[in-house]
Amino acid sequence: MVLIFVEHWRFFQILSPSWFKLEALTVPAFGSYYSYKSFWEYPSNYLSAWQAGVIIWPILIAVVTDYLHRLCQRHIKIRVLKNSANIFALILLFSFIGYEFKSAKRYPEFILKSDYNALTWIKENSSYGNTLIYSPFDDSVPNYLTSFWVPIVSERKSIPFRNYNISGQFNFLSIDIPITEKVSQLQKAAYSITDSTSYNIFKDMKITHIFISGFLVGKLFNVYQNAPFVELIHYNTVPDQGTALVYKVK
């Protein structure tokens, strides 16, 4: 079903009918650099780019290799030829794997080792029920590098989180203001933590910890060290990976 409804475009690419279009995206989206049109619609770039290389083709390679192996075992009776056929199947398999490895998109490292270590420390030294982390972000660094991995690694509630600003993705029943507005207030407060008004925003929203990624330490360290409302309780430094900070809101 996935092959039919998601990956059918690859067959069109091979056959190259006149109505098939494969166009470069102005801005890459979800790991995809191209958009395509089939006789149905413009399907999801994410599905077409990611699922094909990661899920569909490896499974097909395994199926084809297994089929060739069984075919050889069933119809080739001469031992030497059978062994040769098995060797050929292995060569074919590794050729497919090599092609996939060479063609696959290489994702960058999404989280600094110092960030990971600091978030692991939070997990080991805090309780789930009494911990709510805020992780500032900055326009100069993508959010997914400084914030989105915080709840995943720390296993604690955290703001912001992935897709917090996409309607319909997450719902908080106990929040009386929209989550995007809440994040906006916290973000402004995070950059002016020396102000008592900012401190009150964190307290009112029950933020207990502030995690500062190694990407942002150079911009926020002096501000936080001079703030009377927060206390540095942990830091982690990794050579060439920066220093991550964990502050507790007093």
Length of the chain measured in residues: 250
Query: Domain span at residue 97?
Result: 2-103
Mean local confidence (pLDDT), 79-107: 73
Distance CA(36)–CA(20), nearest Å, equals 7
List, for residues 147-182, the tens digit of each pLDDT value.
988 999 999 999 888 777 766 555 555 555 677 888
Do residue 185 and residue 204 come from a single domain? yes
Is the residue at 131 inside a domain? Answer: yes
Collapsed DSSP state (helix, strand, coil) of residue 245: strand
pTM score:
0.63
244 touches 233 (CB < 8 A): no
Do residue 38 and residue 159 come from a single domain? no
Phi, psi of 159 (to 5 degrees): -130, 135
Q: Which of 103, 129, 149 is the last residue of a domain?
A: 103
Is the residue at 137 inside a domain? Answer: yes
Mean of the per-residue pLDDT values of the chain: 80
Residue 190 in this model has a pLDDT that exceeds 70: yes
Do residue 73 and residue 180 come from a single domain? no
Hey, which of 28-42, 95-109, 130-144, 209-223 has the most confident mean pLDDT?
209-223
- Comparison of pLDDT for 250 and 74, the residue scoring more: 250
Q: Which of 103, 125, 151 is the last residue of a domain?
A: 103
Give the whole-number percent of the chain exceeding pLDDT 70: 76
Distances (CA, A) of 232 to 119, 132, 226, 243: 14, 16, 11, 13
Region of residue 240 (phi > 0: left; psi between -120 and 50: alpha; otherwise: beta): left
Q: How confident is the model at residue 141 (pLDDT cuts 50, 70, 90)?
A: confident
Do residue 42 and residue 156 come from a single domain? no
Do residue 64 and residue 174 come from a single domain? no
Q: Which of 63, 78, 103 is the last residue of a domain?
A: 103
pLDDT value, residue 194: 93
Lowest-confidence range among 48-62, 88-102, 121-135, 209-223? 48-62
Do residue 226 and residue 146 come from a single domain? yes
Do residue 200 and residue 86 come from a single domain? no
Distance CA(51)–CA(149), nearest Å, equals 22
115 touches 147 (CB < 8 A): no
Is the residue at 219 inside a domain? Answer: yes
Do residue 119 and residue 211 come from a single domain? yes
Number of domains comprising the chain: 2
Do residue 175 and residue 153 come from a single domain? yes
Lowest-confidence range among 10-14, 103-107, 124-128, 181-185? 103-107
Do residue 72 and residue 134 come from a single domain? no
Do residue 85 and residue 123 come from a single domain? no
pLDDT value, residue 93: 75
Do residue 75 and residue 140 come from a single domain? no
Q: What is the CATH number of the domain that holds 195?
A: 3.40.50
Is the residue at 108 inside a domain? Answer: no
